[in-house]
Amino acid sequence: MVIPAGTAIQNARTSSQGDTYTRDGYHLEQTYGRFTAACVWFEKLFGKDVRKIKLISQKKSRINKLKLLK
């Protein structure tokens, strides 16, 4: 399995945020840089489109949060 996190970062660099996805040109920026890579990992590992996942309130139980993975 290939997880194309680098491709996602390169594509994101063409967005309005520009070349800000890394801290020093090598290491991912700690918020949206890492979030972008995490989304790619999630999609590859679980086969779900992260754009279709709804936000679950922190007040919900842990069991309800696990429903995302089903």
Summarised one tens digit per residue, pLDDT across range 33-48 is 999 999 999 999 999 9
Asked if residues 59 and 68 have their Cβ atoms less than 8 Å apart, the reply is no
**Against a cut of 0.75, is the pTM above it?**
no
Tokens of 37: 């890579």
Which tops the pLDDT comparison, 24 or 62? 24
Q: Which 8-state DSSP code applies to residue 28?
A: B
| Gyration radius (Cα) of the chain, Å | 14
In eight-state DSSP terms, residue 37 is H
CA 50 vs. chain centroid, Å, equals 8
> Measured between alpha carbons, how far is 50 from 53 in angstroms, rounded to an integer?
5
